[in-house]
Structure 1
Amino acid sequence: MVPVAVLCAVGLLVDDRVLGGARIWFKPFKFSVSFAAYCLSLAWMLSLLPRGRRAGWWAGTVVAVASFVEIVIIAGQALRGKRSHFNYETPLDEALYNVMGGTVIALWLATFAVAVLLLRARMADRASAWAVRCGVVQALAGAAVGFLMTEPAPGQQMGVSTVVGAHSVGVPDGGPSMPLTGWSTTGGDLRISHFIGMHALQLLPLLVLVLAALAPRFARLADERVRLRLVLLAAGVYAAVFVLLLWQALRGQSLIHPDGATLGVAGLILVAAALGTYGSLRVPAPPGGPGAPGDGDLDALAKLTR
């Protein structure tokens, strides 16, 4: 994926062709970078398995091969000046798109197998274990959004239209879009929830690393129970944001033009996150119930006795 990303970056510099409102090498560049992050994350997660490593190796190999085949087709279609997704223009284009569909299904099923292995695995650090589990499950949900994009958009008909499927909802693909991401600014865009869901695979485990790095400076984070609460809270908030973005896109609403309902739900999620963080950071009372002496009180008593 890294060499493909480099080649696509060169393509962006020297090839000014545009397809569907975007530079033609931008899509293979995005996919190669995303696949690299996805595969590295899964490889690290598989290294945590105490058992089932052989099954994990096969699942990881399927992910790697499926990703490789898909990026070759995407880059090859860019080289030809053709769409890689939703393309039924010629028998060759349709065959390549169908092969890509098969690779997506294989990748999803292999990731599902990894998720099952991780859910059954016992790991020493519970915060890390649940970050990994929640991350891979949410990545599966994010990947599944891609299947929604294959449905015919209004005006498209299977066997008649040369393009069947779309990223956008309520507006045609290729309209006004955000810089860098290419997400629609005039209608819904399923790629947003697709992106957010899939990258839970990196962001939730990254949260564990951040909490571990902050633990020496913040005593409460040294408590494993506090870190576990924060991870579970983050996973829940992340899932709520994912569902909100999917709901917003399905209603044909642009990310940057939310209506009152979207803002209201976003506000509720924010309040829940704030209250949950406050509750998670509260250190449980020491054994003996409220008013029982803690470590500091016991030290003071010892000094007074002496």
Structure 2
Amino acid sequence: MREFLVTLHSRNAELFWFGLIMLVLAGVMAVLSRITTIEVMGVNAWHKPIKFALSTTAYAWTMGWITHYLAPGWGPQAFTWGTIVLLGFEVLYIALQAGRGMLSHYNMSTPTYAGLYAAMALAATAVTVWTAYIGVLFFRGDFPQLPVAYLWGIRIGIILFVAFSLEGFVMGSRLTHTIGGPDGNHGIPFLGWSLKYGDPRVAHFVGMHALQGLPLLGFYLIHNPKIILTLGVVYGLVAVRVLVIAL
């Protein structure tokens, strides 16, 4: 792990530190979740920002690692700082609202909260579009130094990340993440996914984290490009099936 962190820091120091800050923040909020009784819709208020902070760490460190393969230039550097500003705003706002015992997502109770919710949606969309741009660079460029299966793992991982990140609009358009029942019903501990009603968050999670899973498989376990391509297609179909079931 130490070698990974040292290498990551040398590849993209900004995203290394940003991811580390998010990880520390998740730890602080984990402590708060144990020593406070704040709830939002009957669920521990800190669970949501913890999940977002951890997911942001995974995203920042993944992108910090793979953008190292791209040619230096304005694009990757702008992506780095755009990610820090946009996702930093999103996680901090979610944490602030949690500390106040208030909703962050789907909060239309006042024009201010509605505007901040819209700003979060715009931030997430901007990061998604920017990630798609990084994906285009990986498709257009030549990377002879990378194992072919690993390269295709990166490419397909980005495609699935973008697709299932945009799936967030399914929930945003409904102003709810539960299909067929109210938000806040008790589900899987910590994750909160509903066990009784449809929950698009499951597909959202599965699809987006192809960004980590497929490159890792392509680097460490699966060295045949055809197999990693097939696995990527199957993975995507499974995520789509999970979404269809939720709907």
Say whether the fold is shared (TM-score over 0.5): yes
Alignment of 1:94-173 (within 5 A): 94-124=114-144, 125-152=147-174, 165-173=175-183
AA aligned opposite 1:150:
G
Partners of 1:63 and 1:111 within 8 A in 2: no
Larger-gyration structure (1/2): 1
Q: Which structure has the higher relative contact order (CA within 8 Å, separation 6+)? A: 2
- Assess if the C-alpha contact under 8 Å between 2:62 and 2:212 holds in 1: yes
| Matching residue's letter, 2:138 | L
Amino acid of the structure 1 residue aligned with 2:201: R
Counting aligned pairs with the same residue, the percent is 34
Normalised by the length of structure 1, the TM-score is 0.70
Residue 195 in structure 1 maps to residue 216 in structure 2: no
Identify which of 184, 201, 213 aligns with 1:174. Answer: 184
Secondary structure in 1 matching 2:107:
coil
Q: Does the 8 Å CA contact 2:151/2:218 hold for their aligned counterparts?
A: no
Aligned length: 224
Q: Which amino acid aligns with 1:239?
A: G
Question: Which runs of at least 4 in structure 1 moved beyond 6 Å after TM superposition?
Answer: none
Q: State the distance in 2 between where 1:244 and 1:235 align.
A: 14
Matched letter for residue 37 of structure 1: A
Which residue of the partner structure matches residue 110 of structure 2? 90
Taking the aligned partners of 1:61 and 1:115, their CA distance within structure 2 comes to 17
Does the CA-based 8 Å contact 1:56-1:117 persist in structure 2?
no
Q: What's the CA shift string for 1:89-141, capped at 9, x where partnerless?
A: 12332232122122112111211111111111212221111000000110001
1:209 Cα shift? 3.0
| 8 Å Cα contact 1:177/1:185 also seen in 2 | yes
Counterpart contact for 2:82–2:127, Cα < 8 Å:
yes
| Unaligned residue ranges in structure 1 (runs of 5+) | 153-164, 213-223, 251-306
- What amino acid does structure 2 have at the position aligned with 1:241? V
Q: Normalization by structure 2: what TM-score? A: 0.86
- Unaligned runs of 5+ residues in structure 2 are 1-21
For the pair 1:39 / 2:49, whether they are aligned, the reply is no
The letter for the 1-side match of 2:140 is: R
Q: Whose helix fraction is larger, Structure 1's or Structure 2's?
A: 2
* Alignment RMSD (CA, Å): 1.4
